[in-house]
Structure formats: structure tokens, C-alpha cells
Homo-oligomer: A and B are copies of this chain.
Amino acid sequence: MKLTELKAIKLAELFSALSDASRIRLIALLIDGEMSVRALADGVGMTESAVSHQLRGLRQMHLVRARKSGRQVFYSIDDDHVARLFTLGLDHVQHG
């Protein structure tokens, strides 16, 4: 299959967004439903700042979506592709 350089880069960027254990754990938590930054930080045992930085990247790649409510921001999985990539990858890791 021939791929334009631009598409190769876009695809690599998508997988890059999933290429860190912290981000994977954040996404794993979000699979069950939306969560606040604080709850995510507690869930993965990271500072809110580090989580916020990571969420920014995930947001820019359209992997997660933010919903503001009062002073909290709730994050959720943006798109069904994301959950499918996640579970397909998990499948490969488990039965690999």
C-alpha cells in the first residue's frame, strides 16, 4: 500500500498519542466514562499538572474530549475508533 508522507505522519502521530503508559492508563480509566482531571490524577497516581499536559496532547489528537462544568473539567473518550484501537491493541498484547 502506498501512503503519502502526510498520511504516514498523521498516522504516526495518532499512534504516538497512545505510545505512553501514562496516557494508556488515562484512556483505560476513561473507557468506563468521563472523569475529572483530579479523579484521573488520583487514578493514575500522577500530579494534576502532568495529567493536564498529557490530556492536552490527547485532546489535540481528538482522542479525548473536554466538558467544563463549574471549575471542573470532565474528560471522556472522543470517538469510537479510540476505544476500538485500545481494545484491539490490548488483544494483541494479551494473545501475542
Contact = CB atoms under 8 A, between A and B. Distances in A.
B11 A24 contact: yes
Contact of A8 (B5, B21, B32, B81): B21
Size class of the A contact interface (CB-based, 8 Å): 35 or more
Given A2-B28, A82-B92, 9 more contacts: A5-B21, A7-B93, A11-B24, A12-B20, A15-B15, A15-B16, A16-B16, A81-B92, A85-B89
16 contacts: A3-B25, A5-B21, A5-B25, A7-B90, A11-B89, A12-B21, A12-B24, A14-B89, A15-B15, A16-B16, A18-B19, A19-B19, A81-B89, A81-B91, A81-B92, A85-B89
